[in-house]
Structure 1
Amino acid sequence: MSQLSTSPQVGPATEPAPPEPRSHPRVVGAFVLVGALLVVIMLVHLTQGTSSVGARDLLHLITGGDDEAARVLVAARIPRLLAGLAVGIALGFAGAALQSLARNPLAAPDTLAINAGAHLAIVVVAASGIALPVLSSGALAFCGGLLAAGLVMALSAGGQAATTRLILAGSATALALNSLTMLLLLLFEQATIGLFAWGNGSLVQTDLTAFTQLAPVIGIAAVLLVALGHRLDILALGDDTATVLGLNVRRTRLVVTLLAVLLAAAAVTLAGPVAFVGLCAPVIVRLLGRAVPGVHRHRILLPMSGLVGVVIVLGSDVLLRVVLGGHAGVEVPAGVVTTLFGAALMVWLARRHRDAGPTRQPPGAHAAVRSRSFHLSVVTVCAVVTVGAVVLGMLAGDTWVLLGDIVNWIQGRTGPAYTFVLEQRWPRVAAALLAGAALAVAGTIVQAVCRNPLAEPGILGITAGAGIGAVSLLTFVPLAGVAAISGAAALGAVVAFALVYGIARSGGLSSDRLVLIGFAVWQGGTAVITFIIVTSDPWNTAKALTWLSGSTYGRTGPQVLPVLIALLLSIPAVIAVRRELDLLSLDDDTPRVLGVRLERTRLIALGVAALLTSTAVSAVGVIGFVGLVAPHAARALVGGRHGRVLPVAILLGAALVSIADTLGRAVIAPAQIPAGLVTAMIGTPYFVWLLWRSRNTTTGPR
């Protein structure tokens, strides 16, 4: 299989400039066509809005029309148009530069967590109550984006590692940063009101102040990148060749990275994180390579990517308001549409390419072989830790109780106050315990089927699908019962799983393709959830944020029951096929030779994972990293055999979510931190350590 990040034949998104002379007429024609399309979109964009001012009113301005149309044009529509113009150019240039540096078609401000880092920096300032000028906010966003990009590039070998590795490193870093952002949005709801929608990329502008200050920054950075275009052409030939030709590779990479991060940070400061524009625009331009020779040369690629970026941003805004009306432009972030478009493009890229990075090794490939007595000792210790986590969960909270109070409560001898506290607390403890166990089993299955120790149910889109189902029902049927919510979450998870599996299976199931398509569906599902929230109840984002962050708040006994039933049905079945999972985690040929019906076994196993994930999401919301950390830690402790991994993973997952929930309830009581945010902050360092430890094992040519 070809390496997306190495060979010149990897496809349109990373192909170096062809040696033949460029066709000037075709290049000029391409610029003219894109420019004409952009002019049409801009004219249509100016006619849209919440007021009744239309195209005819704007035409009358040429002959001295009424002042109302002029005020609407100057106060609202031109600022929005110029914001889209600046954001499209900035992200188009930044994406093209980052893809060229990484020689990876999926490198972008989103996948390198630049947008997440810049977003967090701005939210930190807003939560602190400090009002900073635009340029100062932009400087902080630049620092946040640069730190995030540096971490991801270090974890993914400068971005040149296998595409799956880049996506996993970027998604983990972005998830951790987004968890901190969500925490601030929840804890400082009044100070950060309106930032939830803005955090998904909104073109709404009150005036031209931000644009006039950031436009020169974007313009200068874009011009400097074009001036470095010849150096990028040489760099595309490979680091060794570029060095022989006299190029200072390290300095060029540093300068281009700084300029790309600066452009992305300026876009985030102006309009929030508009997702996937930096990924889509350069890919679309490079796809024109056959029809327009020479388009891969960076002095053409960069400005063309900027123009296509503007077409994507403004076109998405126009499409949004055409379909949903003028008010949708205020309520729904334009980034929701660009995310859906980018997710579709990413699925297309994943279907065309295969990736054989270092994460395509059996999950237990490096696990030590342990004795039976050692395994029993580990299970015993994990069981003790889990029981301790449950006891601590019952004791801790905004009201601390004693062990004697719990004993009296069990015997029915406590007073009304403690009875109320413990009656409210036990369902939360049970929900955290069972959800952690369910996610751990699901993660173990997914990692075995994908033969990828860094995969988890969330990265396959299952969590997002379950979230869509549950949030949709909570929004449109507020009085829905527990069974209905669980059913909606299960349906959403099954639909997402069927979509990911069906697309990835086309042309032969590839583990890496499964992960990449799942990531795209995950991002698209998150955009759908955002759309539902901002269109139904935009001023009550705390409820949705709490759900999306994973919380046991307000849980009742009946809400926990579906998770218990799913575990009771699934665990015996998974234990019964533990040997098949051992074979699946090796390769495709060994199970077939030994008589395992590979496709059927994969489908059933992933179906069980989808069931467990959906019930866990219906009970506690979206909790990440548990399905990644628990199975991997279990394999590190007891080896790679699933008969031993499963009980340890179940106990570790249950303990992890229980401890996270207890910490979230007790650390800043009476305020609470959702358990999903705590698990993300606990799991991210572990995940980063895994990537860092294996970063030097990357195989294949660079």
Structure 2
Amino acid sequence: MGAGAPHADRPAAPRPATHHGLGAAAREVPLQPVRPVRVAGVFVVAAVAILLLAAVHLTQGTSSVGAGDLLRLVFGQGTDNAANVLVASRLPRLLAGVLVGIALGVAGAGLQSLARNPLASPDTLGVNAGAYLAVVIVAAFGVSLPALPAGGVAFVGGLAAAGLVLVLSAGGSTGPTRLILAGSAVAMALAGVTTLLLLLYREETVGTFAWGAGTLVQTDLRAVTQMAPIVALGILTAFLLAAKLDILALGDDTAAVLGVNVRRIRVLTTLVTVMLSAAAVTVAGPVGFVGLVAPVLVRLTAPLVPGLLRHRVLLPLSGLAGVLVVLASDVVLRAAFGGQAGVEIPTGIMTMVVGAIVLIWLARRHRDSGPSRSPGGTSSGLRSRRTFWIVTAALVVLLIAAGVGAMLTGDALLRTGDLANWINGASGRAITYVLDQRFPRVASALLCGAALAIAGTTVQAVCRNPLAEPGILGITGGAGVGAIATLILLPSASIWLLSGVAAVAAVVTFGLVYLISWRGGLSSDRLVLIGVGVSAVATAIITLLIVATDPWNLSLAMTWLSGSTYGRTLPQVLPVTIALIVLTPVVVHARRELDLLALDDDVPRILGVRLERTRLLMLLAAALLTAAAVSAIGVVGFVGLVAPHAARALVGGRHARILPVAALLGAILVSVADSLGRTVLAPAQIPAGLLTALIGAPYFVYLLWRTRVPTR
């Protein structure tokens, strides 16, 4: 530390992340001197808390073995049954929780230091999603690996995902919002591929859905004992990097002047943190948000105990905080729902809820990154009116071709003559039946694609962020909760009831996000971050509902959550049709206000725009359009993200031109995805939402790459 210590009290060495929502804790200068007595006291308190939680944890389970039986074992007076329960079930679960907690806690602290971002974690950087996908790919091909090779597979997947997110988000140097959006979108794309594999290889991947939420259920100590040396090596390496990370916290330029090889330290830190995260995933699956919450708990304590932000203290203490989070979540889960719930309900659901609440709390304290962001279209330059009309005409032709192609393709391929006869009412009975079934699906795909694109255009303008999309408002998460709850409580519910509940839940969730985000005004960044947090809570609730009820609902629930037009009828398309007819003119009428909102907050006020009222009206219109689309065909991702940006690239930044072009692009994208999903593996069908993720993800990666901030 020697070279950096004299600079500890300089005000000119704040971390770039000090604006982003950790209050006093984030503004602590990381090179303050360590107070050994106080720091030791914190470690003692954490250790005592862990011991108490561990004692309670060991008394919980499905058997009748209680605290008295375990206490008698300590004095050599216990029964063989108590000993068997302790060794075969409870001790492995406890040790798994300790191993996972310490690995994710240290990994989260390292990733936050690496990204200089208090919201970085194995979840927000896509590490867990990448590791999970890699494990599912191996399982889908029928390969059963021991813990150590499986850990290697998870490491490769997590490393690829984290590297992609860090590169695309410019190392997090542009603030937490970009990092969160980049990580969320990459994780969404990876989750789409994972869900596709789970649906296509149901027998080979059975049991991985619950495991994918993070479960501490262990049948023996094999996984823990094999991963423990990996975790120990990762923690030791992280501790050896601690002094360099302290200096790196002062900034890359300062660190380079002080002799630190910045690139090497970043690469080593990435490898170590991903290795720790992969080890945790191998043992218990992707346990959510522990890597976010644990370092936050330490940073919140930092103002009371100087020196906690030195990495030689921060890293191990974050590991202990991670153990506390995991064990406390598991204890609360089994105390609230019973011992059997510990087997059926993943512990990761509880940690995800806790982490999402912490994320929302941090977002409430967050301040905007500044007016430097734009929705992307403003930098696209102006296009001539001739260009606009050429693009629009070409897209109309493509839309007609997509619609006709969708009517002709599927498990039975038809000809254009069959379609012409059907339109004229002269087709045969078999052809009529097939086309009668296809038309509502084609119509729902076209209309929902247009609705999602218009909603995405509106959200990106209001949030002034090209990476925003309707799902970040919590709409799709709320709709998912409503729909899955309806499927479980009323399995025979009509599609109207299912769609209605989903739509109401979506709008209510959006209202909750908006109210929580309001703090003397609406911050665009705060809205995005809170939307991500609320969506995480919704995901946890959906997972809980699915794994805690009839497993036969799993395929139906996953299909709906993946976005499918299967079984749609014309009356079910009516809500999204009404939403488009009513709300599209409202959005188009506000096209000038959207142009101004996309600039900054000051220009609209100067020109007389009622900023908050306009924002609320536009976001409400976007929420209703998205809710209508989600209630009609389920959750379809990336359309509201990709279509608006592609429209800006084609016709410039004026919303009078963006809106119609984006609507056409969205309709084409969903229609093509639905047609491919009905045709590629016919008679089996791939949900349209999964294919939009597979189609949209590469474009989104390209978008992230183009809009990244170059680092020196």
Task: Give the TM-score taking structure 2 as reference length.
Answer: 0.95
The answer to whether 1:230 aligns with 2:240 is: no
Equivalent residues in 2 for 1:616-635, closer than 5 Å: 616-635=629-648
Q: 1:58 Cα deviation (Å)?
A: 2.0
The answer to whether 1:76 aligns with 2:86 is: no
Other-structure match for 2:436: 423
Q: 1:16 Cα deviation (Å)?
A: 6.2
- Cα distance in 1 for partners of 2:277, 2:47 equals 23
Other-structure match for 1:6: 16
Other-structure match for 1:42: 54
One-letter amino acid matched to 1:497:
F
Other-structure match for 1:294: 307
The answer to whether 1:656 aligns with 2:669 is: yes
- Cα distance in 2 for partners of 1:559, 1:18 equals 57
Other-structure match for 1:66: 79
The answer to whether 1:484 aligns with 2:494 is: no
Distance verdict in 2 for CA 1:370–1:206, change over 3 Å: same
Other-structure match for 1:178: 191
Other-structure match for 1:508: 521
The answer to whether 1:57 aligns with 2:69 is: yes
Contact 1:102/1:158 (CA < 8 Å) preserved in 2?
Answer: yes
- Cα distance in 2 for partners of 1:177, 1:392 equals 28
Contact 1:547/1:620 (CA < 8 Å) preserved in 2?
Answer: yes
Distance verdict in 2 for CA 1:620–1:359, change over 3 Å: farther
Equivalent residues in 2 for 1:525-536, closer than 5 Å: 525-536=538-549
Equivalent residues in 2 for 1:571-590, closer than 5 Å: 571-590=584-603
Other-structure match for 1:342: 355
- Cα distance in 2 for partners of 1:287, 1:49 equals 33
One-letter amino acid matched to 1:26:
R
- Cα distance in 1 for partners of 2:91, 2:182 equals 38
One-letter amino acid matched to 2:675:
T
Equivalent residues in 2 for 1:463-612, closer than 5 Å: 463-612=476-625
Other-structure match for 2:406: 393
The answer to whether 1:442 aligns with 2:455 is: yes
Other-structure match for 2:4: none
The answer to whether 1:147 aligns with 2:160 is: yes
- Cα distance in 2 for partners of 1:358, 1:626 equals 26
The answer to whether 1:125 aligns with 2:138 is: yes
Match of 2:40 among 8, 28, 46: 28
Distance verdict in 2 for CA 1:517–1:7, change over 3 Å: closer
Other-structure match for 1:276: 289
Residues 482-528 of structure 1: per-residue CA shift (max 9 Å, x gap): 33222211221112211211122213211111111111111121111
- Cα distance in 2 for partners of 1:125, 1:7 equals 38
Other-structure match for 1:411: 424
Q: 1:223 Cα deviation (Å)?
A: 1.6
Contact 2:215/2:285 (CA < 8 Å) preserved in 1?
Answer: yes
- Cα distance in 2 for partners of 1:478, 1:182 equals 22
Specify the SS of the correspondent of 1:207. Answer: coil
Match of 1:209 among 222, 227, 234: 222
Residues 237-270 of structure 1: per-residue CA shift (max 9 Å, x gap): 2222222222222222211211111000000111
Contact 1:88/1:306 (CA < 8 Å) preserved in 2?
Answer: yes
Residues 210-241 of structure 1: per-residue CA shift (max 9 Å, x gap): 11101111112112211221121122122222
Contact 1:165/1:357 (CA < 8 Å) preserved in 2?
Answer: no
- Cα distance in 2 for partners of 1:326, 1:359 equals 52
- Cα distance in 2 for partners of 1:359, 1:622 equals 32
> Please, which runs of 5 or more residues in structure 2 have no aligned partner?
1-11
Distance verdict in 2 for CA 1:578–1:4, change over 3 Å: farther
Residues 438-487 of structure 1: per-residue CA shift (max 9 Å, x gap): 10111111111111122110122111111111221122122222332222
- Cα distance in 2 for partners of 1:25, 1:508 equals 44
One-letter amino acid matched to 2:643:
A
- Cα distance in 2 for partners of 1:7, 1:531 equals 34
- Cα distance in 2 for partners of 1:9, 1:409 equals 62
One-letter amino acid matched to 2:50:
L
Specify the SS of the correspondent of 1:365. Answer: helix
Distance verdict in 2 for CA 1:256–1:13, change over 3 Å: farther
Match of 2:280 among 230, 250, 267: 267
- Cα distance in 1 for partners of 2:127, 2:663 equals 34
- Cα distance in 2 for partners of 1:684, 1:19 equals 41
Specify the SS of the correspondent of 1:172. Answer: helix
The answer to whether 1:326 aligns with 2:335 is: no
Other-structure match for 1:134: 147
Q: 1:185 Cα deviation (Å)?
A: 0.4
Specify the SS of the correspondent of 1:381. Answer: helix
**Could you tell which deviates more after superposition, 453-462 or 475-484?**
475-484
- Cα distance in 2 for partners of 1:431, 1:48 equals 50
The answer to whether 1:675 aligns with 2:692 is: no
- Cα distance in 2 for partners of 1:3, 1:192 equals 50
**Could you tell which deviates more after superposition, 120-129 or 21-30?**
21-30
- Cα distance in 1 for partners of 2:460, 2:195 equals 28
Q: 1:190 Cα deviation (Å)?
A: 0.6
One-letter amino acid matched to 1:72:
V
Residues 65-102 of structure 1: per-residue CA shift (max 9 Å, x gap): 22222222211111111111110010001011111111
Q: 1:399 Cα deviation (Å)?
A: 1.0
Specify the SS of the correspondent of 1:689. Answer: helix
- Cα distance in 2 for partners of 1:689, 1:194 equals 34
Match of 2:628 among 605, 610, 615: 615
Runs of 4 or more above 6 Å deviation: 2-5
- Cα distance in 2 for partners of 1:367, 1:246 equals 41
Specify the SS of the correspondent of 2:500. Answer: helix
% identity of equivalent residues:
62
The answer to whether 1:684 aligns with 2:697 is: yes
Match of 1:194 among 194, 207, 213: 207
Contact 2:15/2:251 (CA < 8 Å) preserved in 1?
Answer: no
Other-structure match for 1:308: 321
Residues 330-363 of structure 1: per-residue CA shift (max 9 Å, x gap): 1211111111111111111112122426872244
Q: 1:17 Cα deviation (Å)?
A: 4.8
One-letter amino acid matched to 1:21:
P
Q: 1:409 Cα deviation (Å)?
A: 2.4
Residues 604-648 of structure 1: per-residue CA shift (max 9 Å, x gap): 111111111111111111111101111111122112222211111
Distance verdict in 2 for CA 1:537–1:504, change over 3 Å: same
- Cα distance in 1 for partners of 2:32, 2:124 equals 32
- Cα distance in 2 for partners of 1:96, 1:605 equals 38
- Cα distance in 1 for partners of 2:544, 2:37 equals 43
One-letter amino acid matched to 1:38:
I
- Cα distance in 2 for partners of 1:497, 1:3 equals 39
- Cα distance in 1 for partners of 2:421, 2:50 equals 72
Contact 2:43/2:317 (CA < 8 Å) preserved in 1?
Answer: yes
One-letter amino acid matched to 2:477:
A
- Cα distance in 2 for partners of 1:70, 1:104 equals 46
Q: 1:653 Cα deviation (Å)?
A: 0.5
Specify the SS of the correspondent of 1:536. Answer: coil
Q: 1:158 Cα deviation (Å)?
A: 2.2
Q: 1:22 Cα deviation (Å)?
A: 1.9
Residues 157-202 of structure 1: per-residue CA shift (max 9 Å, x gap): 1233321111111111111111111111000001101101111111
Aligned CA RMSD, in angstroms, stands at 1.9
- Cα distance in 2 for partners of 1:587, 1:662 equals 40
Task: Give the TM-score taking structure 1 as reference length.
Answer: 0.96
Match of 1:105 among 111, 114, 118: 118
Contact 1:5/1:102 (CA < 8 Å) preserved in 2?
Answer: no
